[in-house]
Amino acid sequence: MVLSDRVTIGAFSVLIVQDDVSPNAYKGSYLSIGTGTYIGEGNNIRAAGGQIRIGANCLISQYVTIVASNHNIKSDQLIIKQGWSKENNFVVINDDVWIGAGSIVLPGITIGTGAVIAAGSVVTKNVEEYAIVAGNPAKFIKYR
């Protein structure tokens, strides 16, 4: 985990960086947060089984979930024993991004510089630079 200068993390936020311990599992989980980024209260940021990179000067409001990986879901064994998928096991949030309260950013997503994610959105697709998106799933509204 790398926290740059002037990073603020609100109370009751959870930051997890954890590799899977099962054989042949993903190794290299990583979380970095850029200079001047604010992370509000009660957030859940999980770089478990993948990598999350949050840029500089971002605003991440309260109760936001950012997840780097999904569990494998083969039907021939218990999900809890399968470990994390190695596909799309990353999230990239570029500089100057604002993520509204209660939003969820799913694995395999890149959010472009200057984008705004409206409160309560579920981000299932990449977000263009300076785009404003909203909803579940998040859809393009307009540019800043």
Active site residues: 71
Residue corresponding to tokens 């939003």: 103
CB atoms within 10 A of CB 78: 7
